[in-house]
Amino acid sequence: MIRAGVGFSTAVNPRIAAAEATAAALAQAGLSRANGALCFATPAYGAAYPMILRTVASQAHTREVAGCSSMGVIAGETEIESGSALAVLVFGGDEIHATRFFVPTLRGRAAGVAAEVASAVRSQLDKSNLLILFADTYNFEAEATLEALGTELPGVMIAGGGASEDGSIGETFVFCGDTVSSNAVSGMLLAGDFEPTVASSIACGLIGTAHRVTAARDNILIELDGRPAYEVFAEAAGPLAGDLRRALTYVFVAIPVYENAQTIERGQFVVRNIVGASEEHGVIAVAFQPRVGDTVGFVLRDAERSRQDLKAELEELGDRLDSPPAFGLYFDCVSRGAGLYNIPGHDSAYIRRYLGPVPIAGFFTGFEIGSLAGQTSLLQYSGVLALISGRKS
């Protein structure tokens, strides 16, 4: 039987915080010794990250500890988005084992990073596997690395997110054992005999219909449907177009997951930022490289659309699960949380409503990694929920 628990602390003293959170997690799990532990901590503890990890490992009696820095942490129904806060999840049982990993130096070597991650975990793969990935958001070449990981570890489910911070230090950090590093990736392979499930929801809803790219250069959209791309963007943005800076924080581009798709459907698109726009030249600059013939759309980040998508995903998830989850991890974009909904703990409350009192820990991410339409994808403005369930006997 898989047993798990989650704990958190807002104690200012980092040693006390780590001890409190780990003790609470062990107590909820009914464990004196864990197979593995995951830890997320805010920048307020930055200088003490190594001590926090040693405390978690010592108290949980496991060397398999991983995690990352985060602007805010999630523990059960509690979401803490500022100040001193850390969350710890522990798990144990004969059906699950953990293997931590750490790979330094990310820039310019996506294939090498993927090969090193695969080498660290390949011998530990089992009947069921879930690869949890934490990356330095400012240096991780996500799409190229995820594509290479898919080749290195075919069929292995992957979920995770980019480490985050509150803007005070300009660096993000990943944890492995008592190692703390920027410009690195860390994580944990969960392997054994269980049912892994990954689901995602997005805080953006489609505006209007899909468009065909009819002219583009590098990362510049020049024409959509034979019209200046800026005109099409301005129509989608509506009143927001009058304040371009504000518009770019709410309106984004949607890209279908499936190649050659003619339409854009819920649950089958990823979102990418618009990084600039020129009414004078009729173009918009985007955070990807469009090609003539591609299908794209526009989406609006909106609290009600986000709420409805989360509810729909949780309803579908309930139909997919064969047995109640033993524990879960939630990777929630920093653009969600109280800043989007104007109330704290929104997503966690909905998750509990639909799934019950499952031990869930997580953090607010710089980007998300999850399964979308059966493919591992780099996600943005999303919440990714990874669940571990015992198999039916």
Q: Is the pTM of this model over 0.85?
A: yes
**Which pLDDT score, from 0 to 100, does residue 140 have?**
96
185-194, 255-264, 279-288, 347-356: least confidently modelled range: 255-264
Q: Where are the domains of the chain?
A: 3-201+307-390, 205-301
Residues 255 and 261: their CA atoms lie apart, in Å, by: 9
**Which pLDDT score, from 0 to 100, does residue 141 have?**
95
Q: Is the pLDDT of residue 1 over 80?
A: yes
* Nearest residue to 268 via CA among 213, 212, 202, 224: 202
Q: Residue 351, SS3? A: helix
**Which pLDDT score, from 0 to 100, does residue 149 have?**
97
Q: Is the pLDDT of residue 26 over 80?
A: yes
Q: CB under 8 Å to 376, separation ≥6 — which residues?
A: 146, 149, 150, 157, 158, 369, 370
Distance between terminal CA atoms of the chain?
11
**Which pLDDT score, from 0 to 100, does residue 163 have?**
98
Q: Residue 215, SS3? A: strand
- Per the DSSP assignment, residues forming a β-bridge with 300 are 205, 251
Contact yes or no for 360/345 (Cβ under 8 A): no
Q: Residue 385, SS3? A: strand
Residues 222 and 217: their CA atoms lie apart, in Å, by: 7
DSSP 219: T
Percent of the chain, pLDDT > 70? Answer: 100
Percent of the chain, pLDDT > 90? Answer: 91
Q: Where are the alpha helices (DSSP H) in 280-392?
A: 303-320, 337-341, 346-355
- State pLDDT tens for residues 203-240: 999 998 999 999 999 999 999 999 999 999 999 999 99
Which 3-state string (H, E, C) describes 165-207?
A: CCCCCCCCCEEECCEEECCEEEEEEEEECEEEEEEEEECEEEE
- State pLDDT tens for residues 118-171: 999 999 999 999 999 999 999 999 999 999 999 999 999 999 999 999 988 899
pLDDT band (50, 70, 90) for residue 261: confident
pLDDT band (50, 70, 90) for residue 322: confident
Contact yes or no for 172/69 (Cβ under 8 A): yes
Contact yes or no for 60/90 (Cβ under 8 A): yes
**393: amino acid identity, one letter:** S
- 213 phi and psi, to 5 degrees? -75, 120
Residues 274 and 382: their CA atoms lie apart, in Å, by: 17
**Which pLDDT score, from 0 to 100, does residue 372 have?**
86
Q: How far is CA 24 from the centre of its chain?
A: 24
Mean pLDDT computed over every residue of the chain: 95
Sign for the CA dihedral angle at 244, 167, 78, 313 comes to positive
**Which pLDDT score, from 0 to 100, does residue 393 have?**
63
**Which pLDDT score, from 0 to 100, does residue 10 have?**
98
CA atoms within 13 A on the CB side of 320: 16
